[in-house]
Amino acid sequence: MSQSLYPRRAVLKGALTGLAAIPVVALIGEAQAATKVDPTGAQAKALGYVADSSKIDAAATPSYKAGSKCVSCVQWQGKPTDAEAGCMIFAGNLVAANGWCKVYAKKA
């Protein structure tokens, strides 16, 4: 009787391991599906998103403060070393670390 428990435990353990891996696989799939924000898209244009903040004409963009960029924004979802990452404003897309938009708010 106790011998029949081992296969059942093995099956249960395998099933639990498989279930635990599902969220990881889902996250990886989501990250791969994310695309860069298209600066010519309607939302990006409305928010003045640019992928390279060093090219912003500060005189023509009063809301831009020198040195502001996505990597230091409270909406940035990546690590400080990431070249691009998710942004809460452009959900499902990637923004550039050196990017910027009018919603910029410096991280505390």
Footprint of ligand SF4 (CB under 6 A): 49, 70, 73, 75-76, 87, 89-90, 95, 99-101, 103-104
Shortest spacing between CB 41 and ligand SF4, in angstroms: 12
CA 77, CA 107: separation in Å to the nearest integer? 11
Nearer to ligand SF4, 3 or 40 (CB): 40
User: Which CB, 30 or 52, lies closer to ligand SF4?
Assistant: 52
Q: From the CB of 73, what's the least distance to ligand SF4, in Å?
A: 3
Select 13 or 102, whichever has its Cβ closest to ligand SF4.
Answer: 102
